[in-house]
Each structure stands twice: as C-alpha cells, then as structure tokens.
Amino acid sequence: MQLLKTLGLGLVALACSVAASAAPQRFALDPENTHVHWELKHFGTSTLRGRFDTINGSITLDREAHSGSASISIDTASLSTGTRIFDGVVRGPQLLATSEHPSAYFVASRFTFEGERLVSVAGEFTLRGNSRPLTLKAMRFACRNDTATDPTTAREVCGGDFEAEFNRSDFGITHSLPFVGDAVRLVVQIEGVRQ
C-alpha cells in the first residue's frame, strides 16, 4: 500500500512538472538584438532605408499549444536613416509626426504554426494613431540556451527574422506620393529572453 501511495505521489509530481514546463512562457525583448528595419522605393530607382532602434515589449509563447501573443512598442523618434537631415524630415509632421505620435504599436494574438515551426504572427499595427491588421511572416525562428556569459545561469533566448508589408497611405502618410512608394517593407529582427 505504501508503495502505491509513493508511486501515486510521484506520478502527481511528474504530471505537475510536465504541466509547468508546458505552460505559456513570457519573453522580454532584448533591446540590443531587436530592431525594425523599413524600406520603400524612391522615385522608382533606388530604395530608401532606415530602422527604429528603441523597441520594448514582450512575447508569450506556448509551444505545446502552438499559440502565443505579443505586445511591442516602437519609439518612432528612434528612427535612423544614416542621414541626420533626412531623419528630421521623416520624423516631421508630414511623415511620422513623432511629436504627436511618439510610439507605434504591434499587438498580436494569432501565432500560426506548421508542425513545430512558427510561420506567422498576425495582429494589429498602430502608426500615427491609425490601426490596421498586419501579419509578420517568419523567415526563421528558433530558441536556444544562452550560456555565453555564465554557464551556471543559462537563460533561454528565442528569436527570429520576420517580414511584412503595408501601405503607408493606410496610416495617413501620403506626403510625396506617388514619387516615393506607398508600399513599405518591414524586416523585423527580434530576440527575447525568457523571464
């Protein structure tokens, strides 16, 4: 009888352990390794490019249930094109209007998997106070244990590269159309550290 009781307790403990490891996990974005790059056509010849350097937020990932959620905030004034004068123009009232709209947001609750592979993250993107659906296509996504700094305090890091496209006119940014393209391509680099 004691053996059955001990075995029963062991099975309960194992079930609790498996349930805990299968629970959703929260990852805080690593600001050093998270950036949003953008590009659009310039007069049909070259491509204008820039990036946002200050990104905050978190991702919740439930690998067992193949689901997740994300809440990401982008500091629009952290824009960098490599040209200070052009940075000022893009931050100005006719384009990003960073004084009136200091943040852009991406909030997602639809993670799509094919087998174990994350293929897309769909949600709502808010820019200049306008919100539209946006789907980020996963080019790659993986998780690893980071032991580089201290092997005794290994931490799990998940991240990947994502792409999306939207029309800037949908967000009220119509300056220089049609000479500067309407379609904006996003390339998003994200890494999150498990909390």
Q: Which domains does the chain have, with CATH numbers?
A: 24-194 (2.40.128.110)
Range with the lowest mean pLDDT among 21-30, 31-40, 73-82, 133-142? 21-30
The total number of residues written for the chain in this structure: 195
pLDDT at 148: 65
Given pLDDT bands bounded at 50, 70 and 90, which one contains residue 17?
very low
Q: pLDDT at position 150, please?
A: 63
Looking at residues 168-178, what average pLDDT do you find?
Answer: 95
Q: In angstroms, rounded to a whole number, what is the distance separating the alpha carbons of residues 144 and 113?
A: 18
38: nearest Cα among 27, 24, 52, 25? 52
Report whether pLDDT(147) > 60: yes
Summarize the confidence of residues 104-112 as an average pLDDT: 97
Q: How far is CA 8 from CA 3, 11, 21, in A?
A: 8, 5, 20
Is it the case that residue 152 has pLDDT exceeding 90?
A: no
Q: What's the pLDDT at 128?
A: 97
Region 109-130: what's the mean pLDDT?
Answer: 96
- Mean pLDDT is lowest, of 33-37, 111-115, 126-130, 151-155, for 151-155
d(CA 18, CA 110): 24
Residue 100, CA atoms < 13 Å, CB-side half-sphere: 10
Confidence of residue 119 (pLDDT cuts 50, 70, 90): very high
C-alpha 148/C-alpha 144 separation (Å) is 11
As given in the structure block, the two tokens for residue 37 are 């790059």
pLDDT at position 154, please?
Answer: 78
pLDDT at 44: 84
Q: Looking at the predicted structure, is the pLDDT value of residue 75 above 90?
A: yes
Q: Would you give the DSSP letter of residue 76?
A: G
pLDDT of 8 over the 60 cut: no
Q: Where would I find the beta strands (DSSP E) of 53-182?
A: 55-62, 67-75, 79-80, 103-114, 117-127, 130-146, 155-167
Residue 104 has pLDDT above 50, yes or no: yes
Asked whether residue 114 carries a pLDDT value surpassing 70, the answer given is yes
